[in-house]
Structure 1
């Protein structure tokens, strides 16, 4: 990595651990949140009028019922019936007025709640520039003090990111930038000989990829000094794999390792990067150092994304809604089914020169998750000679993704991916539409899946990419009802969608106590229970024990599904009488459906 440049770089101050954090919040944000709170309070107040009206209707209906009972066999029945008819019409008008009032109140509450959510989100999410925006100037000042000529480039600082995550990354990113300045600098003559611009280029980029926040610091300097890193590692008694450059580069994150000629700086790739790596790991992420083409070094920090707003294109496939990052969608195209070609056993389509020309594979979104269609939905998806497809670009590749319908383009808050679902390479997060979650597709994962697909596995008709042909399973009868029990709205909604797509009727409960009360009430015949283990009030083990203790429920099949894959937990569940125990980490919807089919 070479000796440090002439700029004397001061170490970054150590993070201050405070008992409480003070944040500067724009006054207009607080005002907007306050107004939205008042609006919500006012709208909720309208519920009192609705409740009063309902109570009045209840009393009046009871009075009319008593009147009708008294009329039986009386001499004045004719007159009284006319009175009863008049009162019933008045009751109907009052009910209609109350219904309209309820709709108005509900709409006002929903709008006010949405505004509160948006304003609260503004306080939690801030542009990356809020924390990183001052770094370019600080870096230029440091370079000026050392007589260096640099050009600082930034990208993606307008991306809204969780404020706490940005604050935690502040010191690591500053370390990385100082690191690039210290070890990336070269003599002007050396840069001229290499054909580089006179000024050292240092870049800071913030992006969201694959449901992760990716922060990259790069420079066009001399690049990593593998020999220097290996030598410093040996002096510290570390094992060095000379034939593996990536393993050598990973050594720079070892505590205390430094290739700098001077030891009075924390900015060198060594101690400085150890600080960076430690901070990133505490956030559940990882960091990587590597050479940059054609010159210089890349330092990439990748962290699990807590929340960010991204524009999404909502599409439908196999009765389900999915979100596709709109940045990956070049355009929407219509394909002629009859015009599709075959290449190596796969469906392909030629695209116009205005779209770059060439022949691209056609992948059906409804096939990616192994969702078979039958009945009216299949007819709707397959009628006509045209296919609706998205021209996607990601990772330097392109593919045509066929969908059933387009819904809208809107900016959504992207939350972490759910703990269960289809291939995790295909899912980068979740967005909430109303009260239901929608999976966010990962474009690079779609590209990789399309590349893996064998003959007849991708295209506009049939086939499940990357899966073997399905073994036949017994089709459920229309009366087969499954009870799904999970305190996570995301998980229970996904499970409900999978089971309903397979033809089952599904009812849901939010925890074990809710479930056992519903089972005891006998509201509907339940054929099987699919329950999470970790739930409030009554967990899955408690629910299972309660079911087995009830004579009328003791033979009810129960499947436990949980993120706890510990052998002891599995043994406990089976000892209590669970018919199957599935873990979310290795979740496969085909296995779930096969297990249910065997138990039923």
Structure 2
């Protein structure tokens, strides 16, 4: 029975928070109308019944008193006045404080047990549960498929043993028997390859869904702090101890353990803001402030860092008092000039306080040192700043967690850099003599249609060009005055877009597209703002993950620079006539395969367009204003496979001469024969994929 009650208490803990959050939202919109009052009444009534079910009579009594008041308003069709809204807010604060003391003390007020914080219970949307169930189902289907594959392996092993015990089967037709066994073994290998990819995808999706379940909104952890702040203000300031608490970013979600670890430090900051920022009403009005102290708790998520800022418009830090206290403790020299940044960093030292005497709220010198210790425990930082024209802001910055991200790996000044895939719009290979110059700045032409993602442009649009500025990535991660890197007469460019603005960052070499586990870490020798994350695909090879927002911000600050320079030392060559590199179309239903082949081809000087299957490829070939020189296509694809695409091209006199390379995991002799008889010029297998063979094949066809 005790386990059942603990479970009920944990469920009630989530339920009461949900009710209070909804009621506060209604009150925040202004005086509730009849519909709003009815909704508040319904939630208070439900909360009262739930408190009775878990034997919390104090909470039940508080809810019952408010229920009676709301019932009278509803019966008389009266509107909620300022006093009614204050009564609702005070009741919510009281319930919050009762539940907070219960969680802290380990027992409910006037009851032997209470709802302690239980991280084993979380509220999960039904849609999230459905997604999690689907991910598990996908993994189970892979397991079932693996069982069938294992059965095939056992059958093959049994057949092999049978041949060993009946050698006359091999003597009858050894070639046929060997070919049959080889085909079966290759079929098992192909199935295993397909299943490996399915397992990776299923595990990745399951991991993402499980991680999403652990996320909670900031409001579920910090929401009750407003009630505590009002209670602390009344205790500290008496009749003039009013405080208005403003919450921003309460819908930001991150891991529960991170949010909960920050709750007590943030409460310390709120208490510190009230104690040190309190001013009399007369003094506030004289300074042009509102009558009540304003405290703002703001939560933001930037890259892989979570920031919680507690601000107030009170008196602000007394730098002279801080300097005197720091000198008395030997933290600074008594005659040292006042440096606000250094002095404000000292307030987080253990035992530091500018209060003349200790009371129940402050002056014991433990509050801000506790905040600093909590930040360090989470591998984060804390800083205090003066607000203008008055007040204080204290900001906690901590890493959110490790997370998986898809990144483009590039080589830069001997380091491997990861560019987040979510902001990459194009990957280009721009010949040096095709780089345009406008106002002494280099620009690259973005081809249309982009990446085969849309049909060919209408005739009226074909004359339009999109130009993006070119800058070397090394100018921001490495050498500030770096030239555009040239390899084999061309520049490799990753076109990224942030806030609707595009820029092409020239890299020394594109390596791969990978999904990596990125953690927040400070890279030695690199700017932690620009490089906030790091991944380790290999133990000896770190990948430094770039923040695209910071990269674009620094690009804007950098300005026009000093013209166009290339790493081979030569200046820009005037463009005599527009030239195009050979255009290769890559057709594959796997985005990873498409991206890999595109990167390889572009790094060797080819233009590339993409299609997801044979049907899209055929449409692009028939509508494109530019001639496609080679088609590299997979065989197994939805809607129209590679062999059907090949047949359709051969039947079209405008497309029949385009050479087609089949690249597939199907390497059975019959498949090869069908492809070559259908008109393919080459047949490459993915099991033995070698980028050199692909490039040599295309060069031979051209």
* TM-score normalized with structure 2 length: 0.47
Q: How does 1:144-159 map to 2 (within 5 A)?
A: 146=238, 147-159=240-252
How far apart are the structure 2 equivalents of 1:197 and 1:265?
27
**Against the structure 1 CA distance between its residues 193 and 458, is the aligned structure 2 distance closer, same or farther, given a 3 Å change threshold?**
farther
Give the drift of 1:14: 14
Q: Which residue of 1 is the match for residue 340 of structure 2?
A: 245
Q: Which residue of 2 is the match for residue 277 of structure 1?
A: 372
Per-residue CA deviations over 1:91-119 (Å, capped at 9, x if unaligned) read 56645764565466445533432343123
Contact persistence 1:363–1:401 (CA under 8 A): yes
Name which of 296, 301, 304 aligns with 2:391. Answer: 296
Helix, strand or coil for the counterpart of 2:520? Answer: coil
Per-residue CA deviations over 1:113-135 (Å, capped at 9, x if unaligned) read 23431233135443333322322
**Against the structure 1 CA distance between its residues 187 and 413, is the aligned structure 2 distance closer, same or farther, given a 3 Å change threshold?**
farther
Q: Which residue of 2 is the match for residue 52 of structure 1?
A: 151
How far apart are the structure 1 equivalents of 2:292 and 2:312?
11
Give the drift of 1:25: 2.5
Contact persistence 1:331–1:391 (CA under 8 A): no
**Against the structure 1 CA distance between its residues 35 and 257, is the aligned structure 2 distance closer, same or farther, given a 3 Å change threshold?**
same
Q: How does 1:13-24 map to 2 (within 5 A)?
A: 22-24=118-120
Name which of 535, 539, 545 aligns with 1:440. Answer: 545
How far apart are the structure 2 equivalents of 1:333 and 1:110?
26
Q: Which has the higher contact order (CA 8 A, sep 6+)?
A: 1
Name which of 196, 200, 205 aligns with 2:293. Answer: 200
Give the drift of 1:309: 6.1
Give the drift of 1:441: 0.9
How far apart are the structure 2 equivalents of 1:301 and 1:174?
12
Q: Which residue of 1 is the match for residue 277 of structure 2?
A: 184
Q: Which residue of 2 is the match for residue 140 of structure 1?
A: 230
Helix, strand or coil for the counterpart of 2:260? Answer: helix
Give the drift of 1:175: 0.6
**Against the structure 1 CA distance between its residues 219 and 422, is the aligned structure 2 distance closer, same or farther, given a 3 Å change threshold?**
closer
Unaligned runs of 5+ in 1: 1-9, 73-79, 350-359, 465-500, 502-600
Per-residue CA deviations over 1:405-437 (Å, capped at 9, x if unaligned) read 999x99997422486796655321146999998
How far apart are the structure 2 equivalents of 1:299 and 1:447?
27
**Against the structure 1 CA distance between its residues 333 and 286, is the aligned structure 2 distance closer, same or farther, given a 3 Å change threshold?**
same
Name which of 502, 519, 524 aligns with 1:415. Answer: 519
Contact persistence 2:277–2:314 (CA under 8 A): yes
Per-residue CA deviations over 1:451-490 (Å, capped at 9, x if unaligned) read 99799789785499xxxxxxxxxxxxxxxxxxxxxxxxxx
How far apart are the structure 2 equivalents of 1:252 and 1:98?
67
How far apart are the structure 1 equivalents of 2:183 and 2:424?
54
Name which of 427, 434, 439 aligns with 2:531. Answer: 427
Deviates more, 1:419-428 or 1:173-182: 419-428
Q: Which residue of 1 is the match for residue 254 of structure 2?
A: 161
How far apart are the structure 2 equivalents of 1:49 and 1:63?
21
Q: Which residue of 1 is the match for residue 505 of structure 2?
A: 402
How far apart are the structure 1 equivalents of 2:331 and 2:417?
51
Q: Which residue of 2 is the match for residue 307 of structure 1?
A: 401
Q: How does 1:63-74 map to 2 (within 5 A)?
A: none
**CA RMSD of the aligned region, Å?**
5.5
**Against the structure 1 CA distance between its residues 415 and 281, is the aligned structure 2 distance closer, same or farther, given a 3 Å change threshold?**
closer
Q: Which residue of 1 is the match for residue 350 of structure 2?
A: 255
Contact persistence 2:297–2:311 (CA under 8 A): yes
Name which of 365, 388, 401 aligns with 2:473. Answer: 365
Give the drift of 1:294: 2.8
Q: Which residue of 2 is the match for residue 109 of structure 1?
A: 199
Give the drift of 1:173: 0.8
**Against the structure 1 CA distance between its residues 245 and 110, is the aligned structure 2 distance closer, same or farther, given a 3 Å change threshold?**
closer
Give the drift of 1:307: 0.8
How far apart are the structure 2 equivalents of 1:26 and 1:170?
17
Give the drift of 1:219: 1.1
Task: Give 1 or 2: higher helix fraction.
Answer: 2
How far apart are the structure 2 equivalents of 1:411 and 1:143?
49
Per-residue CA deviations over 1:367-405 (Å, capped at 9, x if unaligned) read 6556995656x63637xxxx9454579xxxx99552579
Give the drift of 1:174: 0.4
How far apart are the structure 1 equivalents of 2:568 and 2:499?
20
Name which of 439, 442, 446 aligns with 1:341. Answer: 439
Contact persistence 1:252–1:270 (CA under 8 A): no
Greater CA radius of gyration, 1 or 2? 2
**Against the structure 1 CA distance between its residues 392 and 324, is the aligned structure 2 distance closer, same or farther, given a 3 Å change threshold?**
farther
Unaligned runs of 5+ in 2: 1-96, 107-115, 445-467, 570-602, 604-702
Helix, strand or coil for the counterpart of 2:323? Answer: helix
**Against the structure 1 CA distance between its residues 363 and 153, is the aligned structure 2 distance closer, same or farther, given a 3 Å change threshold?**
farther
Helix, strand or coil for the counterpart of 2:532? Answer: strand
**Against the structure 1 CA distance between its residues 269 and 93, is the aligned structure 2 distance closer, same or farther, given a 3 Å change threshold?**
same
Contact persistence 1:365–1:401 (CA under 8 A): no
Q: Which residue of 1 is the match for residue 492 of structure 2?
A: 381
**Against the structure 1 CA distance between its residues 40 and 227, is the aligned structure 2 distance closer, same or farther, given a 3 Å change threshold?**
same
How far apart are the structure 2 equivalents of 1:331 and 1:265?
58
Contact persistence 2:442–2:470 (CA under 8 A): yes
Give the drift of 1:245: 2.7
How far apart are the structure 1 equivalents of 2:504 and 2:360?
52
**Against the structure 1 CA distance between its residues 414 and 181, is the aligned structure 2 distance closer, same or farther, given a 3 Å change threshold?**
farther
Contact persistence 2:424–2:495 (CA under 8 A): no
How far apart are the structure 2 equivalents of 1:362 and 1:297?
42
Q: Which residue of 1 is the match for residue 265 of structure 2?
A: 172
Q: How does 1:529-568 map to 2 (within 5 A)?
A: none
Helix, strand or coil for the counterpart of 1:280? Answer: helix
Q: Which residue of 2 is the match for residue 26 of structure 1?
A: 122
Helix, strand or coil for the counterpart of 1:216? Answer: strand
Aligned residue pairs, count:
419
**Against the structure 1 CA distance between its residues 222 and 158, is the aligned structure 2 distance closer, same or farther, given a 3 Å change threshold?**
same
Per-residue CA deviations over 1:265-304 (Å, capped at 9, x if unaligned) read 334695422332233234333322220123211112233x
1:230 paired to 2:323:
yes
Contact persistence 1:392–1:400 (CA under 8 A): no
**Against the structure 1 CA distance between its residues 99 and 283, is the aligned structure 2 distance closer, same or farther, given a 3 Å change threshold?**
closer
How far apart are the structure 1 equivalents of 2:231 and 2:375?
26
Contact persistence 1:50–1:98 (CA under 8 A): yes
